[in-house]
Amino acid sequence: MKAALDLLRDLGVQPTPQRIAVARFVLRTGRHPTADEVLAHVRRTCPTASRATVYNTLNLLVDRGLLRVQVLRGGRAVYDANTERHHHFIDERTGAIHDVPWHAVTVGGTAALDDFEVRDYQVVMRGRKRKH
């Protein structure tokens, strides 16, 4: 993966230490953090980061296509660095959100939605992750 500094520059975003810290965390975490979780993590390495800077940077990364914002966890927005088409599984015991490959789920019946033109969809499953 390209360094956060290079990604920001490629997008025409002025790389500040705060923006680099936000991008570095959300693009490498592998989780689906909330903005507050991003803020808490970023403040560990960049204590001058403000809430507004973190929120603005997250929104900028969404606008530029590096992140997707999803409402998956208790009505709270989370940020997803996986911008490819995929579904989600939410573990009800831990609250962890797992990516599910697009091809693993088949959805039928969209042709019966005569009044709608479906351009995209996402399946969100809830349950418990099996222990292996």
C-alpha–C-alpha distance, residues 104 and 97, integer Å: 16
Of the chain, the percentage scoring pLDDT greater than 90 comes to 69
What pLDDT does 119 receive? 83
- Summarize pLDDT for 37-96 with one digit per residue, the tens: 999 999 999 998 999 999 999 999 999 999 999 998 777 899 999 999 999 999 999 989
Residue 1: pLDDT above 60? no
Residue 111: pLDDT above 60? yes
3 state SS of 98 = strand
Tell me the H-state helices in 29-127: 35-45, 51-63
Q: Which residues pair with 38 in a beta bridge?
A: none
Ordered domains of the chain (ranges, CATH): 4-80 (1.10.10.10), 86-127 (no CATH)
